[in-house]
Amino acid sequence: MEIRNLGRSGLQVSAIGLGCNNFGGRIGLEPSRAVVHAALDAGITLFDTADVYGERGGSETILGEILGPRRKDIVLATKFAMPMDDEGRLAGASRRYIIAAVEASLKRLRTDWIDLYQQHRPDPRTPIEETLRALEDLIRAGKIRYAGCSNLPAWQVVEAVWTARSIGLSGFVSCQDEMSLLVRKHEADLLPAMRAHGLGLLPFFPLASGLLTGKYRRNATMPEGARLTKTQRLADRYLTEPNWGTTEKLADFAESRGRSLLELAFGWLLSRAPVASVIAGATSPEQVRANAAAGSWTLGSDDAAEIDRITGHAT
């Protein structure tokens, strides 16, 4: 497994990471244990979760129970800011909430520190300086090692970078945002900003909720129990006529080179700066092993140009 630095920070992560959003929701304790052990055996070191995953706290709780002494062998990432109650009081990026949220996550994860603590979404009510100062205090207290963000627009990421620099804070080292062969909306603004300021990208939904695995076929019976089969809102989003057409062309492109669509999806992302690790969820050990093995294809410039043409991003 390739190991990469997360942006310009010294934090090193595996090129393929494990998204733990299925734990406590789609799968329970024992299936989650099998997934975690398969990831460890495959050399995956980055485990990404969030306080809201698994019915609010379920994913962190399960992960904390499973890891035990292996906690020291991984880079543990989690998130805060999404609502942890129905009233919306337990949410946001204020100092008051961050201090409470990190303690709750540490307890559920059964650990003394979090390697990467990420703001899960923007908080328009809290000045970014307040958020960054609270995270800096957690770094100095040893409760977190690094801070990152997720789902922030490019202008807010740049604002956070310059605020941190102007007052001497560590600031964010990474962004976690959706990116895949079918979702390339951040290439015009967020990615150039990240490259300019040395932040690492952790793309989530790299397989477009499974469409880029190759297991779905247009006008064919949907796979039983699959995410796009069971979750209508995701099916409505990804199973569009343009996406079907693009996916079929991408599959032909990969097959003509003796590769799978899965390998193309991961290889393309890992060839894009500033991607550090591709966050991929899994519900079985077989999926983990397939994901871990799929990141070995290094795409050339000609391949990248052809993919841009297929996906409608040719210049």
Q: Residue 123 is part of a domain; what is its CATH number? A: 3.20.20.100
pLDDT digits (tens, 9 = 90+) for 83-138: 999 988 899 999 999 999 999 999 999 999 999 999 999 999 999 999 999 999 99
Is residue 235 domain-resident?
no
Name the percent of the chain lying above pLDDT 90.
83
Cα–Cα distance measured from residue 229 to residue 227, given in angstroms and rounded to the nearest whole number? 5
Cα–Cα distance measured from residue 59 to residue 52, given in angstroms and rounded to the nearest whole number? 8
pLDDT digits (tens, 9 = 90+) for 145-193: 999 999 999 999 999 999 999 999 999 999 999 999 999 999 999 999 9
Which of 25, 75, 34, 81 minimizes the C-alpha distance to 53? 25
Give residue 68's region: left, alpha or beta (phi > 0; psi -120 to 50): left
Handedness of CA 238, 227, 204, 275 (dihedral sign): negative
- Residue 194 clears pLDDT 80, i.e. is over it: yes
Distances (CA, A) of 141 to 41, 70, 105, 134, 213: 32, 23, 16, 11, 42
pLDDT digits (tens, 9 = 90+) for 3-34: 999 999 999 999 999 999 999 988 999 999 99
Is residue 268 domain-resident?
yes
Angle (nearest 5°) at CA 309 between 303 and 310: 90
Which of 32, 13, 12 minimizes the C-alpha distance to 21? 32
Reported as a pLDDT band with limits 50, 70 and 90, residue 315 is: low
Reported as a pLDDT band with limits 50, 70 and 90, residue 306 is: very high
Which of 91, 40, 104 minimizes the C-alpha distance to 67? 40
Is residue 247 domain-resident?
no
What the block records as the tokens of 266 is: 């991961």
Average pLDDT, the chain: 94
Give the pLDDT of residue 204: 94
Task: Yes or no: say if 199 and 206 are a contact pair by the CB < 8 Å rule.
Answer: no
What the block records as the tokens of 268 is: 């393309």
Going by DSSP bridges, is the β-strand pair 12-14/3-5 parallel, antiparallel, or unpaired? antiparallel
Cα–Cα distance measured from residue 166 to residue 209, given in angstroms and rounded to the nearest whole number? 39
The count of structural domains within the chain is 1
Is 97 tagged catalytic?
no
Q: Where are the alpha helices (DSSP H) in 9-153?
A: 29-41, 53-67, 95-109, 128-141
Give the pLDDT of residue 228: 77
Is residue 246 domain-resident?
no
Catalytic residue (one of 53, 97, 216, 238) = 53
Give the pLDDT of residue 216: 82
Is residue 249 domain-resident?
no
Is residue 33 domain-resident?
yes
Is residue 212 domain-resident?
no
pLDDT digits (tens, 9 = 90+) for 257-298: 999 999 999 999 999 999 999 999 999 999 999 999 998 888
Is residue 22 domain-resident?
yes
- Residue 49 clears pLDDT 80, i.e. is over it: yes
Q: Which residue segment(s) compose the domain that 156 sits in?
A: 3-207+261-298
pLDDT digits (tens, 9 = 90+) for 63-84: 999 999 999 999 999 999 999 9
